[in-house]
Amino acid sequence: DSGVTQTPKHLITATGQRVTLRCSPRSGDLSVYWYQQSLDQGLQFLIQYYNGEERAKGNILERFSAQQFPDLHSELNLSSLELGDSALYFCASSRERQGPYEQYFGPGTRLTVT
């Protein structure tokens, strides 16, 4: 158990809908990262937050957004969902803002868009 929690574990929704994925980092970790794992794209970094502020952006679509709250939990919002958004979404956390600190991963949220 990494100490990173993600809810829900599974999510099934229809195209065009909007969903919110939630992540709680390990106690004491200030950085939260979101990743998408799909069969065709592999594991891709989406976005990082540090202590409530956006720190780095990766291959995140404009339809996706994230935020980190004062209690350090983070939410990833996915809107206007398409079939291709079906994937496993991981959250990770680390102690500091920048590397090379290892990241601890949550169990993931499996999103299925039908």
Name the residues that contact another protein, by CB under 8 A. Answer: 2, 4, 31, 33, 35, 42-45, 48, 55-56, 58, 90, 92, 94, 96-108
CA distance 109 to 5: 10
The letter for the amino acid at 56 is: A
Integer Cα distance of 12 and 75 in angstroms: 17
Residue 18 C-beta: closest distance to another protein, Å: 25
Smallest distance, Å, CB 89 to another protein?
11
The distance of closest approach from Cβ of residue 77 to another protein in the complex, given in angstroms and rounded to an integer, is: 20
CB-wise, 1 or 71, nearer to another protein? 1
For another protein, the closer CB: 79 or 89: 89
Looking at the Cβ atoms of 25 and 106, the one nearer to another protein is 106
Question: Is-contact 65 77, C-beta < 8 A?
Answer: yes
Q: Which is nearer to another protein, 20 or 110 (CB)?
A: 110
What separation, in Å, do the N-terminal and C-terminal C-alpha atoms of the chain show?
31
- Cβ of 32: how many Cβ atoms within 10 Å? 31
